[in-house]
Each structure stands twice: as structure tokens, then as C-alpha cells.
Amino acid sequence: MGRLDGKTALITGAARGQGAASARRFVAEGASVIVGDVLDDEGKELADELGDNARYRHLDVSSEQDWSQALEDISATHGNVDVLVNNAGIVHFSPIEKTSLADYEHVIRVNQIGTFLGMRAVVPGMSAAGGGSIVNVSSIEGIAGMAYLTAYSATKFAIRGMTKVAAMELGGRGIRVNSVHPGMIDTRMVQDAAGGANVDMTPIGEKVALGRIGQPAEIAELVVFLGSDESSYCTGSEFVADGGATATHALSIG
């Protein structure tokens, strides 16, 4: 028996990184998974790798039309979405005074608006089915700020807040909504934001209590828990997996 047997899950930004790790774990635990992304080649490759219980779906999370069409297609082929993982996200490094409005708005559209549209899209189906689980991937930058991440931090704080509002509104319908707050994870997102440069993140990992950066599979385990019935009494909460990064403060000498 898998922990997600019989459940249909839609995971956004699932072609690689944390999203791909979650897709692999969801399939391993018995779920039918829709791999949502704009990276068509990588998404299709992952779905093929995962076999009959996975299917790729092109999904631009910032597009209302894409969400509407995706839910219509999923309903026709899989029925209701039981678990939504709002994982898609981008990062932009820049000092405040050098952050263009276009760059700021781009991050907002993908991270924040994408999460809002995703939640809104699945609520009718989950309500009709008597419940479901929404997992919103925020960040430790949704708990405390970091220099050069104005737009990114703004979206991650917003996701944290929207999660709590949605949990209050939807709890009576059996829909649980929680946020996940990873620390520094070994994915390509930072390298991509640095223009494709090979960034050595080892010094960053050495700053946290566990002395290393995290792996996507470690975040996937937490997402599986929140998508499963094991977390049946969890809603409106923040689940942090950061190696101890938020356990301290700026004046710490430990």
C-alpha cells in the first residue's frame, strides 16, 4: 500500500529540481501525477521515465487560460485533483535600486499569481469531492528576508499569507492548505538566476546547523507527507526544512 494510493496530484514546475523529486516520490507512493511545467522536453522526458502513472501537461502557471484548460483536461482523464503542489517558481537577484519593474512583475506573476491561480482553480473540484490537499512551496525567504531578493521574498511572504487565508476559508470543506519553506536546496534555480554560472553553494551550506545544503528528495518527503492522509490534522501551517538556517539570528556566534 502506497501512502498516496488512489490520489491524483498536479505538481507545477515539476520538470526538474524539487518538483521532479516530488513527482518521483508521489508516483512511488501510488499517486497518478500530472507533471506541469513550461519546459516541455524535460517534462515529457520525466513523465516517460515515471511510466503509466505520470503524464506531462504544458502549464504556464501565470496564465488563467492555461489553468482553466489544464483542469478541464485533467477532469476528463483523471477526475478530480486530490493534491495540488504549487511548486513552480523563479528567483531574481538584484539590489532594490537596480530591480526593474519588469523583472519584479515577472517574479510576482510566476511565484505569487501562479500560486493564487492554482489554488483558485482546484477549489471547485476539491469542494465537490469533499476535500483535498494544497501544498504551497514558499521558502525561508517567506519567513525572513535576504539581501538582493526583494521580488522573490515578496512572493514567498505572500504565499505564506495566502496559505493561511485559504486554510481558514476552505477547512470546512475538508481542504487542507499548508506551506513548505525550504532553505538552500541543490537545484539549478540559483545557477539559472546567475546566468548559467556554476555557483559553489558549499560555503552557504556550511553556515547552517547541519553543515550542508539540502537535496530535492528531502523536500519531496515533506511534500508527500502533506499530500497524504498522514497530515489530516495539518492546515494553515508552515513546514520548514532548512538545515537549521532559521534557528538562529544575526548576532549568533555559534
> What's the number of CA atoms in the CB half-sphere (13 Å) around residue 57?
27
Exposure of 32 by Cβ count < 10 A (0-12 exposed, 13-18 middle, 19+ buried)?
buried
The helix (run of H) or strand (run of E) holding residue 88 is none
Q: What single-letter amino acid sits at 242?
A: D
Distances (CA, A) of 8 to 56, 158, 205: 13, 26, 35
Per-position DSSP letters for 96-130, written without gaps between them: GGG--HHHHHHHIIIIIIHHHHHHHHHHHHHHHHT
Beta strands in 31-100 (DSSP E): 32-37, 54-58, 83-86
For the chain, count helices (H), then strands (E): 9, 7
Q: Which candidate in 56, 148, 152, 233 is catalytic? A: 152
152 is catalytic: yes
User: In sequence order, which residues have a C-beta less than 8 Å from that of residue 205 and are 6 or more positions away?
Assistant: 184, 211, 212, 213, 243
Distance CA 6, CA 61 (A): 25
Residue 128 dihedral angles phi and psi, to the nearest 5°: -65, -30
Indicate which residues carry an active-site annotation. Answer: 152
